[in-house]
Structure 1
Amino acid sequence: MGYTAPNRIKGKGGPRAGAGRPPGDKETGPGYELAMWIDERVDELLASRGWYANDLTSRLGYQKPNILSQWRSGRSRIPIEKLVQLSELFNIELALLLRMWLEQYIGAHQDAPALLGVFDRVVTEEEFEIVKAHRAAKAKGETV
């Protein structure tokens, strides 16, 4: 008898399934927060817009949709130049994406807590409006 290819279910495990990588295997832990975040939210985004994966990836400048599965699994890192578009598409503050993006590059580095701690003080646009109002009131001598 001849060779029989392994039975693979379309969409399960990706191109590396059956080659020593369990189907659906995803990287997790330090350095993969952004990948996990994308994986948790991308299906909801696609469904809410009536898009397929290739609709999203073409809007991000990619010709093939496989980059999305690579981001979701943590096998490929999201380039920093894609963060603004992703923040607009997902309607999330850029600072939050930037923090997760930075975390994917520094991961378990010894200075990671200090570097990522800077983002704990980053505020959203709405929070910044409150800060500006507080500063304006203080500048006028008002009790805050």
Structure 2
Amino acid sequence: MSSCDTALYPVEIDVNGEKRTIQVRGADILLHILRDKLGLTGSKSGCNNGDCGTCTILVNRQPIKSCLMLTVEADGKQITTIEGVTNSPVQNAFVHNQAFQCGYCTPGFIVNCEGLWNAHPHADEETIRVWLESNICRCMSYEEIHHAVKDVFTPI
């Protein structure tokens, strides 16, 4: 193993409103650091190639698949995980619409939809549909998820 494989780099991030400095290797994936070093296990490892969205987090309010991001790329950034999303309209709509079955994909969907809310607070039907394409629900709760998200953008 070469010395560059074991070198540690300090990374300063704001995770869910808490400033953290962590030592990471250059190859450390942000998802693994969040789960294994910081104990934030809400973001899940599904595919590890960016297809499923179970690992979605917000980086500077934009949805990012944390399995595709090196931790060193997060230096100086604001990170929001599902643990940092509390009592939001999106989260409440998921509960109200029972937009989950096994729950494995739910944190990724909720965080992704928080990103939609940040980017397009008045999203139309097409924007919602396109935005939801970045996440996969293997239990097929798409109808309930779609209803939940629509409720956030078109309240009763």
Q: Taking structure 1 as the reference length, what is the TM-score of the superposition?
A: 0.28
Highest Rg: 1 or 2? 1
Name the TM-score, length of structure 2 as normaliser: 0.26
Higher strand proportion, which one? 2
Richer in helix (by share): 1
